[in-house]
Amino acid sequence: MTIHAEPCWTGQEIRQQPQMWQETLHNLRAQQTETDNFLQPLLALPGLRVILTGAGSSAFIGDTLAPILSRTLQVPVMSVSTTDIVSDPAGYLPANGPLLLVSFARSGSSPESIAALELADSRNAHCHHLLITCNPQGELYRSYRPRPRVLALPLPEKTCDRGFAMTSSMSSMMLACLLAFHRIDAQAVQALSQSTASLLETQSDFTRSPLQRRGIKQVIWLGSGALQGIAHESALKLLELTAGQIAAFHESPVGFRHGPKSLVNAATQVIVLISNDPYTRRYDLDLLTELRRDRVAAQVVALAGAKAAEIEQGEHLYLPEAETFSDSQLAFGFLVMAQTYALASAFDFGMTPDNPSPEGRVNRVVQGINIYPWNDGQQN
């Protein structure tokens, strides 16, 4: 693989992802016995509920993984952001029965990260914690790792992105969770890494993306199932790195018809993430065909792994060597496509991607959140 010099941390951190996935695989293999000893007895408990949590991009990891884990773990799996847990603990945290809270944190220093865990412990005496973090120096890891009913999985140091936007941190934490629950194996990680490395090789620099088109004022990302979480993250990346110069939205292809489709106009780009699941894929292709037939959007683009005649009726990009990928593998490749698009758009607007908000309205580690004491007996 050719190494390209990048103009910013964000570019380097996007490009390093195939390597970070290999290192994350190595880390999780080394901790697999400890992880299995922690998780397997929990997964056997009657009535166990699993909540995936984080804030911002870390929350979208949960949105992506909840449908994948729900299919196979045979226990209820929900994605609830730490921001929702902190503002309404009783609305989201079960008071009774075994609970596993899986927390994702790049820095582990956001104010609500610790607060969400403490609220879960005060609300549920049977709460266990799986912490997946890129920063073993962060407050989350240091304060919670020694406690009972906690397993902390620190990731390779380079996954703790220095840039403003989460890129390799998000994808590596997502992979670590799949590995911890045995939802992806080494062979699939290798195939994914090779596919994404091939994709990145096609872009010798990140100042341009094949998804860019002049005159676009809003971008709508659509994805079904696990890919809806990636659609949400893709919209956030574009919004973050352009500091709102491009309006970005997300929805599911089926849900898009229920009102959000009214957003589409002549300055809109719609990007449809096409599932490889044979059943789900039919819904994605139906909407793709419909949007192209409408001829309202400036551009309708399909991102896909497996080929189809409907995809090739208009503009499209295929993830390399992804014809047989599961949607969990596609999620990583589509995520990288979205990251490179957002970065190129930032350069196009003259932004500084590592700090797109120099005036401090938004920050790499969120600021300005007051954490208030909560009484479990309080009623709304």
For residues 227 and 80, membership in a common domain is answered with no
For residues 142 and 59, membership in a common domain is answered with yes
pLDDT in tens, 28-53: 999 999 999 999 999 999 999 999 99
Do residues 253 and 279 lie in contact, with contact meaning Cβ atoms separated by under 8 Å? no
3-class secondary-structure state, position 15? helix
Query: Mean pLDDT score of the chain, rounded to an integer?
Result: 92
pLDDT at 1: 36
| CA atoms of 108 and 371, how far apart (whole Å) | 16
Structure tokens at 320: 């390399």
Do residues 9 and 162 lie in contact, with contact meaning Cβ atoms separated by under 8 Å? yes
pLDDT at 376: 74
Residue 365 lies in a domain: no
Bridge partner residues of 292 (DSSP):
none
Residue 138 lies in a domain: yes
For residues 242 and 340, membership in a common domain is answered with yes
| CA atoms of 266 and 340, how far apart (whole Å) | 24
pLDDT at 287: 98
pLDDT in tens, 58-67: 999 999 999 9
Residue 359 lies in a domain: no
List of the chain residues with pLDDT < 70 = 1-7, 356-369, 377-380
Q: Which of 81, 88, 91 is nearest to 236 (CA)?
A: 81
Structure tokens at 99: 């609970």
pLDDT at 319: 98
For residues 233 and 331, membership in a common domain is answered with yes
pLDDT at 107: 79
For residues 243 and 164, membership in a common domain is answered with no
For residues 159 and 304, membership in a common domain is answered with no
- Which is it for strands 99-105 and 127-133: parallel, antiparallel or unpaired? parallel
Residue 376 lies in a domain: no
For residues 335 and 216, membership in a common domain is answered with yes
Number of structural domains found in the chain: 2
pLDDT at 6: 53
The model's pTM: 0.92
Looking at 257-315, which runs of residues are DSSP E strands?
Answer: 268-273, 299-304
pLDDT at 314: 97
How large is the angle between the packed helices 57-73 and 226-241, nearest 10 degrees?
170
Do residues 51 and 42 lie in contact, with contact meaning Cβ atoms separated by under 8 Å? no
For residues 248 and 284, membership in a common domain is answered with yes
Cα maximum dimension of the chain: 59
pLDDT at 205: 86
pLDDT at 103: 96
Q: Which residues contact 333 (CB under 8 A, 6 or more apart)?
A: 192, 195, 196, 199, 305, 319, 322, 325
Do residues 298 and 215 lie in contact, with contact meaning Cβ atoms separated by under 8 Å? yes
- Residue 315: C-alpha distances to residues 4, 271, 360 (Å): 28, 10, 38
CATH code for the domain of 155: 3.40.50.10490
Q: What is the percent of the chain where pLDDT is above 90?
A: 82
Domain boundary among 184, 215, 239: 184
Find the domain containing 240 and state its range: 207-348
Do residues 45 and 76 lie in contact, with contact meaning Cβ atoms separated by under 8 Å? no
For residues 213 and 178, membership in a common domain is answered with no
